[in-house]
Structure 1
Amino acid sequence: MSESLKNKTVRGVGWSFVDNIASSGVTFLVGLVLARLLTPAEYGIMAMIAIFIAVSNSIVDSGFSNALIRKVRVERVDYNTVFYFNLAVSVLLYVLLFLASPSISVFFKEPELVKVTRVIGSVLVINALAIIPRTVFVRDVNFKTQTKVSLISSVSSGAVGIVMALSGMGVWSLVGQQLSRQSLNSLFLWVYCKWKPSLEFSIESFRELFGFGSKLLLSGLLSTVYQNVYYIIIGRFYSSSLLGQYTRAEQFNMIFSSNLTSVVQRVSYPVLSSIQEDPKRLREAYRKVIKTTMLITFACMLGLAAVAKPLIVILIGEKWLPSVYFLQIICFSGMLYPLHAINLNILQVKGRSDLFLKLEVIKRIIAIAPILIGVFYGIEYMLWGSVFTAFISYFLNSHYSARLIDYPTMDQMKDILPTFFISSIVAFFMWCVSLFDISAYILLPMQLSLGILLAFIIYEKLRLPEYLEVRQLVCSLLHRKNKLDNKQIWTKN
């Protein structure tokens, strides 16, 4: 990896990581406050509408943002064409969602869903307005600006949600938080982005971009439906309260799994796309991404499973204890999410959106079994089934990506197994500490201290290349921050 590309990647990873902390991290902290003020049932109501919003957002984007990121040379007309298409589709989908709200309410047997759906549905149009500005920043690997926007919108919307919850507005505090966050995010992306729309639309540009993006749209829809289908199963066949417990477990899982996946995808996709015509360089860069990413992922996810109970008791209270077991199971499937994303990124980099779609169809057919198990036997069995399908999905993803860059699945496994075994050993000892009958406020610090110390000793002893890479990355980011701080001090003086 060349020095300029490496510096660009380091900056991208650093700011993308901070961006996720600013948005998801701050939102999570706000969620801890809201979880103490609201009931699991109120969280369950919001989860019932989640799949409809998620699917609609996928349709609005239609894979165009990825097509624009991948395209080597993007013209102004390309941006304008996608912008107007996104906006028109978002308005249409909002109207459909508005009209369908009574049926959604009847399906889940939840009267309040009619009003909630009609209000929260407006977020589709708000998000559509931000797609092109965000894409422009991603193409430039400019995550610094997005970080500023995320910080402003996350903190402000968090304050809105907490004030509404304290005022006794229940589920509407969650609605207010989401709407204000997306509105502010879109507003400031427009303020900072130099691109502005003009009245032009190209059929030729649409066809070119849609030819690649349409397959990503279909695969994205399948993935989105699958990721949210558990909300439908639990909400329809169980209760809004139990669904609230499940969503809280999912949100804890997202701290590491989804956020790390997002960071890796956002940075690696444009960076790997820029070297797609150099096979050897692409393979080595891809291999480094996998090894360093999975070192962090295994440590975080297995560690989270080990400390789940005291963590939840301390942060949101004992009324959320049923979510502990859900979280521990989800961690085992969640630890593979970044690996899925990295392998699928290669298919997009190589322009094989057809394979991307084919894989999504196969994996979702396989995933039908755990869903049926959830309907007839219970949520726990459904979640363990999802762990099994996650491993199968990895082998499918890696098989096809391996053929494109000459990086076989067995080589991938050899690269990541050392860090998996180390993280498993560390997590086991952390979990053993939880067997002692002591206060959660004492237990959690003991587990975390043991885990960090044990991992540091093992990695320093073994000196694995991926560990040294991560350590160097962290040192580079800290060094950059120190230089900036020193510069500001000298400027003031």
Structure 2
Amino acid sequence: MPSIRRSLVLSFAQKYTTLLISLPTIMVLSRLLTPAQVGVYSVAVAFVNIVQMLRDFGTSEYLVQVRELDDATARSAFTVTFVIAWALGVALFLCSPLIASFFNEEGLRLVLEVMSINFFLLPFGSTINALLMRSMQFGIRYRIATTAQLAQSAVTLTLAWLGYGYMSPAWGSVAGMVVNVLGCLSWGRDYRIRGVGLAHWRPVASFGVQKTFGSIVNRVGMSAPDFIIGRMLGFAEAGLFSRGNGLVRMFRENIIGAIGSVAFSAFSQRHRDDERPGDLFLKSITFVTCISWPFFAFSALMAFPVMRIMFGDQWDATVPILQFLAIAGLINTSLSHNSELLTATGRIGVATTRITVLQSVRVAAMIAAAFYSLNAVAAVQVPVALFGFVYTANALVRYSGITWRDLFRALAPTIPVTIATMIIPALVYLLDTPSGDNLWSPLLGSMAGAAFGWLLGIWLAKHPVWFELRDFLSVRLNARLGRA
């Protein structure tokens, strides 16, 4: 089985490659679609994302964390996934007119009908992906994800350029799913499921009920801004919030997500081997915050030049949104992968309860804020994130054998690193304030200063990332000298 370091490298390679493909796609698409068109697609995606939480009934996570896995268990998981995914595809197609009527937007029906196709394709790839993750075969997952993203971006941009509007990303998602399934069946052929069966459906269902409920609640909470803003403030405002949240979401998916897939596999493996996954969790948050805290602090400070350069002046209203969401993102990433730890160690009920409480508070706060303004919806994310940190830390202390002192020791090394990272960008902002006619100079200067400050910070603070980076460079240098 590949090592955790190798798996992380491959997982990051997958996410960064996806980022390199998707970022230019988003930038071009933002100039081809209006905020209202983006809003229609965003609301449709919010509904699809909720339905997707039901699609495999938690079978993927079950296959990764189960102690003993045999062919009968894998067949049971595939069969459950197939039945549920196809039923959901039919339901989404039939309900799309009702959803469109509720929002008084016919475009929602068209987008949802097209995206329902993905549910009929998904079962043929999701189970193989789960088995690849359990075996930590992230090299194969990298090839699959990259080709799928290329196909999705190519179709999306081509159709948008031809004037298909919000239907462009919808058909692009279908193209990506087709390529994903073909990649799983080809490159993951050793992990194909041979036949169907329900011999072990009971343990699959027991795990799936709790996991699916938690996933639905979490997805509703994450998608709540699109629903609430789209309904109470309008689709243009929903598009603005979605674009302002884009950088935060991109980091969550391409950094936190890259680590999360490996972390869940590693936590599960350690639990199966009767080791202490909590120690690995503490190490992971030390490494994650060394990246996330400086990133979000920088994003909050330089939000204006970042958004203007990436998306143009029609999206200037997203600047305060990004600033509030970046602060919330800094807090939210402080205890990343806590759900993976709880689930991997058999505490699926605790993980589900935590998600339910946090997202209920988040939705209630956003509804109240939406009566005031779009910026209020963004601002309320900060106190919600603070509440989530305290609540999650308390759950970890109670159920994972981790103490408050352990958490403080894991997070403390990143504090001086973040401060060191932000000193030069703050000075650049004060001395060369960004404006409509002055974007690149302060942004590039602050980026260079942040990079220098980060390296200086991890060295002075003797952060664990410094030792990993030093060892990596030492190995590469010795290898080059050896070849010479």
**Aligned mates of 1:427, 1:383 — CA distance in 2:** 23
Give the aligned partner of residue 150 of structure 2.
155
1:60 alignment partner, SS class: coil
Q: 1:132 to 1:33 in 2, by over 3 A?
A: same
Cα shift readout 1:39-97 (whole Å, capped 9, x = no counterpart):
11111111111222111111012211111100122111222212122122122112222
Q: 1:467 Cα shift?
A: 3.3
**Aligned mates of 1:319, 1:395 — CA distance in 2:** 38
Q: 1:479 to 1:398 in 2, by over 3 A?
A: farther
**Aligned mates of 2:414, 2:460 — CA distance in 1:** 13
**Aligned mates of 1:373, 1:473 — CA distance in 2:** 49
Give the aligned partner of residue 255 of structure 2.
260
**Aligned mates of 1:13, 1:51 — CA distance in 2:** 29
Give the aligned partner of residue 447 of structure 2.
448
Matched, 1:18 2:13: yes
**Aligned mates of 2:291, 2:372 — CA distance in 1:** 34
Give the aligned partner of residue 44 of structure 2.
49
Q: 1:315 Cα shift?
A: 1.9
**Unaligned stretches of 5+ residues in structure 1:** none
Give the aligned partner of residue 87 of structure 2.
92
Aligned counterpart in structure 2 of residue 273 of structure 1, from 265, 268, 274: 268
Give the aligned partner of residue 192 of structure 2.
196
Give the alignment of 1:476-491 within 5 angstroms: none
CA RMSD in angstroms comes to 2.4
Q: 1:428 to 1:106 in 2, by over 3 A?
A: farther
Q: Please say which of residues 462-471 and 150-159 is displaced more in the overlay.
A: 462-471
**Aligned mates of 2:87, 2:111 — CA distance in 1:** 18
Cα shift readout 1:458-484 (whole Å, capped 9, x = no counterpart):
2222222343235546776x679x88x
Give the aligned partner of residue 391 of structure 2.
396
Q: Is the Cα contact below 8 Å between 1:107 and 1:236 reproduced in 2?
A: no
The AA in structure 1 aligned to 2:100 is: S
Q: Is the Cα contact below 8 Å between 1:233 and 1:374 reproduced in 2?
A: no
Q: Is the Cα contact below 8 Å between 1:260 and 1:338 reproduced in 2?
A: no
Q: Is the Cα contact below 8 Å between 2:221 and 2:363 reproduced in 1?
A: no
**Aligned mates of 2:433, 2:244 — CA distance in 1:** 23
Matched, 1:468 2:467: yes
Cα shift readout 1:143-164 (whole Å, capped 9, x = no counterpart):
1111111221212221221111
Give the aligned partner of residue 132 of structure 1.
127
Q: 1:446 Cα shift?
A: 0.7
**Aligned mates of 2:365, 2:474 — CA distance in 1:** 43
Number of residue equivalences: 478
Q: Please say which of residues 390-399 and 143-152 is displaced more in the overlay.
A: 390-399
Q: Is the Cα contact below 8 Å between 2:267 and 2:345 reproduced in 1?
A: no
Cα shift readout 1:372-422 (whole Å, capped 9, x = no counterpart):
223311222222222212222122222222234432134313421341353
Q: Is the Cα contact below 8 Å between 2:303 and 2:319 reproduced in 1?
A: yes
Q: 1:474 to 1:14 in 2, by over 3 A?
A: farther
**Aligned mates of 2:292, 2:184 — CA distance in 1:** 30
**Aligned mates of 1:472, 1:239 — CA distance in 2:** 52
Q: 1:255 to 1:116 in 2, by over 3 A?
A: closer
Give the aligned partner of residue 140 of structure 2.
145
Q: Greater relative contact order (Cα 8 A, min sep 6): structure 1 or 2? A: 1
Q: Is the Cα contact below 8 Å between 1:212 and 1:351 reproduced in 2?
A: no
Q: 1:261 to 1:393 in 2, by over 3 A?
A: same
Q: 1:318 Cα shift?
A: 1.0
Give the aligned partner of residue 422 of structure 2.
427
Q: Is the Cα contact below 8 Å between 1:258 and 1:338 reproduced in 2?
A: no
Q: Is the Cα contact below 8 Å between 2:420 and 2:454 reproduced in 1?
A: no
Q: 1:222 Cα shift?
A: 0.5
Q: 1:279 to 1:419 in 2, by over 3 A?
A: farther
Give the aligned partner of residue 239 of structure 1.
234
Q: 1:195 Cα shift?
A: 2.6
Q: Is the Cα contact below 8 Å between 2:33 and 2:160 reproduced in 1?
A: yes
**Aligned mates of 1:15, 1:349 — CA distance in 2:** 21
The AA in structure 2 aligned to 1:198 is: R
Q: What is the TM-score of this pair, normalised by structure 2? A: 0.92
Matched, 1:346 2:341: yes
**Aligned mates of 1:360, 1:253 — CA distance in 2:** 19
Q: Is the Cα contact below 8 Å between 1:292 and 1:469 reproduced in 2?
A: no
Cα shift readout 1:199-223 (whole Å, capped 9, x = no counterpart):
33124x1111222232111111100
1:451 alignment partner, SS class: helix
Q: 1:454 Cα shift?
A: 1.6
Q: Is the Cα contact below 8 Å between 1:258 and 1:337 reproduced in 2?
A: no
Q: Is the Cα contact below 8 Å between 1:42 and 1:170 reproduced in 2?
A: yes
Q: Between the two proteins, what is the percent identity of the paired residues?
A: 19
Q: 1:301 to 1:123 in 2, by over 3 A?
A: same
Matched, 1:222 2:217: yes
Give the aligned partner of residue 380 of structure 1.
375
Cα shift readout 1:118-169 (whole Å, capped 9, x = no counterpart):
1112122222322101001101111111111122121222122111121122
Q: 1:314 to 1:330 in 2, by over 3 A?
A: same
Q: 1:398 to 1:437 in 2, by over 3 A?
A: closer
**Unaligned stretches of 5+ residues in structure 2:** none
**Aligned mates of 1:90, 1:405 — CA distance in 2:** 33
Q: 1:248 Cα shift?
A: 1.3
Q: 1:279 Cα shift?
A: 6.8
**Aligned mates of 1:169, 1:413 — CA distance in 2:** 51
Q: 1:157 to 1:474 in 2, by over 3 A?
A: farther
Give the alignment of 1:322-361 within 5 angstroms: 322-361=317-356
**Aligned mates of 2:418, 2:277 — CA distance in 1:** 28
Q: Is the Cα contact below 8 Å between 1:399 and 1:408 reproduced in 2?
A: no
**Aligned mates of 1:421, 1:462 — CA distance in 2:** 7
Q: Is the Cα contact below 8 Å between 2:271 and 2:277 reproduced in 1?
A: yes
The AA in structure 1 aligned to 2:217 is: L
Q: Is the Cα contact below 8 Å between 1:41 and 1:241 reproduced in 2?
A: yes
Q: Is the Cα contact below 8 Å between 1:141 and 1:270 reproduced in 2?
A: yes
